[in-house]
């Protein structure tokens, strides 16, 4: 009976996730595409300091397995609830950064057609690709994290979710992709000028 309940809960969660993606996916894409490009100075103040190492830790199956083996079920449920909310906050900051870096890259890509700067154009295109991929993956991840937070809070009989399962979503390794965003942003900053790279390295 318990196995059947777990299967039904998992099926409902997946169905809700699919519906939300279908309904909101187009709206999110339209919102991103309609924003105006930003200059570097317009973008920089909006960047938030994230913690990529902490995200890697939260998504590490070995660390999570250690907690699962060494905590009681009640304590592990409580720990996972905290870790889910922490991961959600960190991914929110990172997705926020990807949004503004994407807008900046669009602006630099547009300027590169006038300046004929091939290095800027290539780095802009690459950064835009990583930002779009990362934001979609974290969008899916946030939905799943919210479903899990609800399950832990309201469905005491439901199994405790394994957070490490969302490291790879929609074909994307979330920590690795953000790492590529940082590296590509620095490359673009270097192509645009040394001061850009210096400012980005201090924030990202």
Determine the pLDDT at residue 26. 47
Asked if residue 38 has pLDDT above 80, the reply is no
Distance of alpha carbon 80 from alpha carbon 7, whole angstroms? 20
* Across 129-154, average pLDDT: 92
**Local confidence band at 1 (pLDDT 50, 70, 90 cut-offs):** very low
Determine the pLDDT at residue 31. 53
* Across 50-64, average pLDDT: 93
* Across 141-151, average pLDDT: 91
Q: Which residue has the higher pLDDT, 81 or 20?
A: 81
Percent of the chain with pLDDT over 70: 82
* Across 52-75, average pLDDT: 94
Q: Which residue has the higher pLDDT, 69 or 153?
A: 69
Residue 184's φ and ψ, nearest 5 degrees, are: -70, -35
pLDDT, tens only, 168-199? 988 899 999 999 999 999 999 888 876 777 77
Q: What is the 3 state secondary structure string of the chain?
A: CHHHHHHHHHHHHHHHHHHHHHHHHHHHHHHHHHCCCCCHHHHHHHCCCCCHHHHHHHCCHHHHHHHHHHCCHHHHHHHHHHHHHHHHHHHHHHHHHHHHHHHHHHHHHHHHHHHCCHHHHHHHHHHHHHHHHHHHHHHHHHHHHHHHHHHHHHCCCCCCCCHHHHCEECCEEHHHHHHHHHHHHHHHHHHHCHHHHHHHHHHC
**Local confidence band at 5 (pLDDT 50, 70, 90 cut-offs):** low
Distance of alpha carbon 62 from alpha carbon 26, whole angstroms? 36
**Local confidence band at 2 (pLDDT 50, 70, 90 cut-offs):** very low
Percent of the chain with pLDDT over 90: 52
Average pLDDT score, the chain: 84
Asked if residue 63 has pLDDT above 80, the reply is yes
* Across 149-165, average pLDDT: 87
pLDDT, tens only, 94-135? 999 999 999 999 988 888 777 777 888 899 999 999 999 999
Determine the pLDDT at residue 204. 77
The whole-model pTM stands at 0.81
């Amino acid at each position: 009976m318990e196995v059947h309940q777990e299967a039904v809960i998992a099926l409902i969660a997946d169905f809700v996730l699919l519906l939300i993606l279908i309904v909101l996916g187009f709206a999110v894409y339209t919102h991103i595409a309609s924003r105006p490009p930003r200059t570097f100075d317009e973008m920089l103040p909006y960047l938030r300091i994230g913690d990529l190492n902490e995200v890697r830790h939260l998504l590490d199956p070995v660390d999570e397995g250690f907690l699962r083996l060494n905590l009681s079920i009640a304590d592990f449920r409580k720990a996972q609830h905290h870790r889910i909310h922490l991961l959600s906050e960190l991914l929110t900051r990172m997705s926020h950064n990807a949004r503004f870096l994407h807008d900046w890259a669009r602006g630099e890509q547009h300027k590169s057609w006038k300046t004929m700067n091939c290095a800027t154009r290539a780095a802009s295109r690459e950064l835009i690709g990583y930002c779009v991929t990362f934001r979609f993956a974290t969008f899916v991840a946030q939905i799943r994290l919210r479903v899990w937070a609800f399950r832990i809070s309201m469905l005491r009989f439901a199994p405790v979710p394994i957070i490490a399962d969302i490291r790879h979503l929609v074909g994307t390794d979330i920590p690795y992709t953000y790492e590529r965003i940082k590296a590509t942003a620095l490359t673009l900053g270097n192509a645009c000028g040394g001061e850009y790279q210096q400012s980005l390295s201090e924030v990202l």
